[in-house]
A and B are shown apart, each in its own frame.
Chain A
Amino acid sequence: MKSKISLAFDNCKKEKRPALITYVVAGDNNKNNSINILKKISKHADILELGFPHNTPIADGGQIQGSSHRALKKGIKLKDVFQIAENFKKFNAKKPLILMGYYNIIYQIGENAFLKNCRKSGVDGLIVVDLPYPENKNFSKKCKKKSISFIQLISPTTSHQRMKQILKDSHDMVYYISMLSTTGGRLKVSPSKILQNYRKISRINPKKNIVIGFGITDRTISALKSAQGLVCGSLLCKTITNCLKMGQNPVTKLDKVVYNLKNKIL
């Protein structure tokens, strides 16, 4: 049986457009809003990424750090993250939901317990920022057994040989990091150069669903729409920050921002 993630990509291919993948931090700016944000933006997004916050993130830029900080300050715990996921899945079981975060959080509760919770709350995939290949081999096997996609990352520094190995061991989705940057950096490489690198990867295995992330905003997204999927995260975190500053409702604002993103890639 095809996974929900694969089905989402199939659907986008039929519509001849890239998948829109959004990232927000669980519990930002509180648990309720977080659930409502997911419900709203799932109308426009094809796949949802939900960050489980960590207070020492070594690959995140200011916007996602800010979101994580707000969530943790509100007392968001891992059990809340799973509750947010579960709650959303009750609302829309078909929409793929991917958890994203740092390995220490998984390590502390234990890999098996973490995956059990993922299953229970209906999580479809996992991105672990600081568990690279091949260190992630065992864990990604465990994920597969539980029918959870482990999403491998490829970056501009990844060698061709390594790309081949990573793709071989990858599941339903592979994440290409557009440039040397933390999340939320300004796009410092031209979209055509990014797509050139991107095609090198997809030529190795044209069947893989490869998405591009980092530096994707309402300004850059349409130039990259020939990719199979595009991830937008920091822009959404920044939107929440701005809403809180201006006293606006982040739920309705994010709905609009994601709707706008979607329109740019149609």
Chain B
Amino acid sequence: MKLKIRKGVPLIDQHDKNFMYGGKFGGNFIPETLKKPIEDLTNLFSKLRKDKKFLKERDYHFHTYIGAPTPFIKLENLTDYLGGAQLYAKVVSEANGGAHKIYNATVHCLLAKKAGKKYIVGDTGAGYAGKMLSMAAKKFGLKCKIFMGAKDIKRQRPNVLAMKKNGAKIIPVTTGSQTLVDAVSECMRYWVSNCDTTHMCVGSTVGPNIFIKICAYSTAQISRELIKQVNEEFGKIPDKLKLINCVGGGSSAAGFWNEFIDTHAELIGVEAGGPRNSKLHAAPLTNGSKVGILHGAAQYVIQNKEGQIGATESISAGLDYPGISPLHCFLKDTKRARYTSASDEEALKAFQLVSRFENISPSLEPSHAFAEAIKLAPKLKSSEVIIVNSCGDSLKDKDIIKQRLGSYIR
């Protein structure tokens, strides 16, 4: 069966009545206990997304709290240095808190308030989803718990400190690989036990269908801003335009591409290839992983023949996840987007190059996207345009960068 994207239908609504995208990705593979809370949340969300008052409230917070629009800038020096395509960046890291995760966190807190919940829990890998949720929870008066892998707590210290400052309780997850995959599992387990009082925020476009929808709906703000900014800059959408974004769970890419799905723009996702010469990676789309069930959804996922979820490795905690959003599985199989990967070393090199030439300092996640842009740009004509989503700030990575490159210069 050839999968097709229906025109004029938002990406998040391309699923069938079983909440499956293309009949094979997504769904709700959840314990019975979560059926009701997920149904309640689904009903609440579908009502509110059509509610003008709610949209006004959302936009108010997007503008006054998150800071919309985030800048769209030309990377003049890098363009000159590389030759070839014109390089631009959508500097989403300028959003309040320093990354795109603030959109999802803000919308979830608004939903939690509407649902009358006083507690909110979330998972985090790089720590940005957790930091933003703790910020938003503080703003909206919700008590917050964040589940984070013990390995990630060590390697993303600045964000851990920020979460604590915001009054969130951090629950270290010591099972399995002690990274994002275990944090999501543990957070879901917590929700199974506390779904009567607590709202759960899944930090990316993964998990049961409603969480994928809420997250991509929230990050779509990125492309709503960008499509305007592109039209202002070029007078139209350039004939040859590439939108490059890193993908771990896939939340920033889904938001960066959302408004461009029905246009001719080329969409390129960059997964975490892991250390050079390592067999471990976090790139299920690039490396042809099979479809499996992870965290309540069918998706391409790194696993063994038996269906045990596989170990991953990446320098970037935010991309270090064995699965990938069902939305991206769908975009891949419909051939609307293509996916590749960058190694740890390529990402570090890209970070170095971008921060040397430009006044932005992308975290290790978007550095994967920059690595692909740097690879492609010299091969393209100057009439072609590449836009990279610089979706996170490097400050959280200063320890890793210092260790790997000798020094951390923004």
Q: Is A16 an interface residue (CB 8 A)?
A: no
Q: Is B172 an interface residue (CB 8 A)?
A: no
Q: Is B383 an interface residue (CB 8 A)?
A: no
Q: Report the minimal beta-carbon distance from B212 to chain A, rounded to whole angstroms.
A: 16
- Which B residues are in CB contact (< 8 Å) with A65? 175
Q: Is B293 an interface residue (CB 8 A)?
A: yes
Q: Is A56 an interface residue (CB 8 A)?
A: yes
Q: Are B293 and A135 neighbours in the complex by a CB distance under 8 Å?
A: no
- Which A residues are in CB contact (< 8 Å) with B188? 58
Chain-B contact segment, one of A4-12, A116-124, A157-165, A204-212: A157-165
Q: Is B309 an interface residue (CB 8 A)?
A: yes
Q: Are B30 and A132 neighbours in the complex by a CB distance under 8 Å?
A: yes
B interface footprint on A28-70 (CB within 8 Å = 1, 0 otherwise): 0000000000000000000000000011111111000100010
Q: Are B28 and A135 neighbours in the complex by a CB distance under 8 Å?
A: yes
Name which of A157, A180, A182 has the most chain B CB atoms within 10 A of its CB: A157
- Which B residues are in CB contact (< 8 Å) with A24? none
Q: Which residue of B lies closest to A134 (CB)?
A: B18
**Also in contact, A55 and B32, with CB within 8 A (given A104-B294, A107-B293):** no
**Also in contact, A154 and B193, with CB within 8 A (given A54-B308, A104-B294):** no
A interface footprint on B229-273 (CB within 8 Å = 1, 0 otherwise): 000000000000000000000000000000000000000000000
- Which B residues are in CB contact (< 8 Å) with A107? 292-293, 298, 307
A228-252 CB contacts (< 8 Å) to partner B? none
A interface footprint on B52-82 (CB within 8 Å = 1, 0 otherwise): 0000000000000000000000000000000
**Also in contact, A185 and B294, with CB within 8 A (given A154-B32, A158-B36):** no
Q: Are B33 and A156 neighbours in the complex by a CB distance under 8 Å?
A: yes
Q: Are B35 and A158 neighbours in the complex by a CB distance under 8 Å?
A: yes
Q: Are A56 and B176 neighbours in the complex by a CB distance under 8 Å?
A: yes
Count of residues in A whose CB is under 8 Å from the partner chain: 39
Q: Are A108 and B185 neighbours in the complex by a CB distance under 8 Å?
A: no
Q: Is A131 an interface residue (CB 8 A)?
A: yes
- Which B residues are in CB contact (< 8 Å) with A177? 32-33
Q: Are B29 and A108 neighbours in the complex by a CB distance under 8 Å?
A: no
Give A105 to B309 CA distance when docked, in angstroms: 10
Q: Which residue of A lies closest to B295 (CB)?
A: A58
A174-194 CB contacts (< 8 Å) to partner B? 177, 180-182, 185
**Also in contact, A158 and B303, with CB within 8 A (given A58-B192, A182-B192):** no
Q: Which residue of B lies closest to A57 (CB)?
A: B185
Give A218 to B31 CA distance when docked, in angstroms: 26
**Also in contact, A104 and B303, with CB within 8 A (given A56-B181, A59-B189):** yes
Q: Report the minimal beta-carbon distance from B183 to chain A, rounded to whole angstroms.
A: 12
Q: Are A180 and B194 neighbours in the complex by a CB distance under 8 Å?
A: yes
- Which B residues are in CB contact (< 8 Å) with A105? 306-307
Q: Report the minimal beta-carbon distance from B21 to chain A, rounded to whole angstroms.
A: 15
Q: Is A23 an interface residue (CB 8 A)?
A: no
A91-121 CB contacts (< 8 Å) to partner B? 102-105, 107-109
Task: State which of A54, A109, A131, A182 has its C-beta within 8 Å of the C-beta of B193.
Answer: A182
Q: Report the minimal beta-carbon distance from A147 to chain B, rounded to whole angstroms.
A: 24
- Which A residues are in CB contact (< 8 Å) with B33? 59, 155-157, 177, 180
Give A220 to B185 CA distance when docked, in angstroms: 28
Q: Is B305 an interface residue (CB 8 A)?
A: yes
Q: Is A200 an interface residue (CB 8 A)?
A: no
Q: Are A162 and B35 neighbours in the complex by a CB distance under 8 Å?
A: yes
Q: Are A104 and B307 neighbours in the complex by a CB distance under 8 Å?
A: yes
Q: Is A74 an interface residue (CB 8 A)?
A: no
Give A133 to B33 CA distance when docked, in angstroms: 11
B290-322 CB contacts (< 8 Å) to partner A? 290, 292-296, 298, 303, 305-309
Name which of B28, B189, B298 has the most chain A CB atoms within 10 A of its CB: B189
Q: Are B36 and A77 neighbours in the complex by a CB distance under 8 Å?
A: no
Q: Are A130 and B29 neighbours in the complex by a CB distance under 8 Å?
A: yes
**Also in contact, A153 and B31, with CB within 8 A (given A56-B181, A130-B296):** yes
Q: Which residue of B lies closest to A179 (CB)?
A: B193
Q: Are A108 and B292 neighbours in the complex by a CB distance under 8 Å?
A: yes
Q: Is A224 an interface residue (CB 8 A)?
A: no
Q: Report the minimal beta-carbon distance from A197 to chain B, rounded to whole angstroms.
A: 13
**Also in contact, A56 and B27, with CB within 8 A (given A77-B306, A177-B33):** no
Q: Is A258 an interface residue (CB 8 A)?
A: no
Give A153 to B31 CA distance when docked, in angstroms: 9
Q: Is A173 an interface residue (CB 8 A)?
A: no
Task: State which of A55, A109, A158, A159 has its C-beta within 8 Å of the C-beta of B308.
Answer: A55
Q: Is B129 an interface residue (CB 8 A)?
A: no
Give A59 to B33 CA distance when docked, in angstroms: 9
Q: Is B195 an interface residue (CB 8 A)?
A: yes
Q: Which residue of B lies closest to A132 (CB)?
A: B32
Q: Are A157 and B28 neighbours in the complex by a CB distance under 8 Å?
A: no
Q: Is A72 an interface residue (CB 8 A)?
A: yes
Q: Report the minimal beta-carbon distance from A169 to chain B, rounded to whole angstroms.
A: 13
Q: Report the minimal beta-carbon distance from A53 to chain B, rounded to whole angstroms.
A: 8
Q: Are B30 and A130 neighbours in the complex by a CB distance under 8 Å?
A: yes
The 4 closest A-B pairs by CB, nearest first: A108-B307, A157-B36, A104-B293, A155-B33
Instruction: Give 13 A-B pairs besides A159-B36, A185-B193 with Cβ atoms closer than 8 angstroms.
Output: A55-B308, A55-B309, A58-B188, A59-B33, A69-B175, A77-B306, A104-B309, A107-B293, A107-B298, A108-B292, A108-B306, A133-B32, A154-B32
Q: Can you show 23 pairs from A to B with CB atoms below 8 A apart?
A: A56-B181, A56-B185, A56-B309, A58-B30, A58-B185, A58-B189, A104-B292, A107-B307, A109-B307, A130-B29, A130-B30, A130-B31, A131-B29, A132-B31, A135-B28, A155-B31, A157-B35, A157-B195, A157-B196, A180-B192, A180-B196, A181-B192, A182-B189
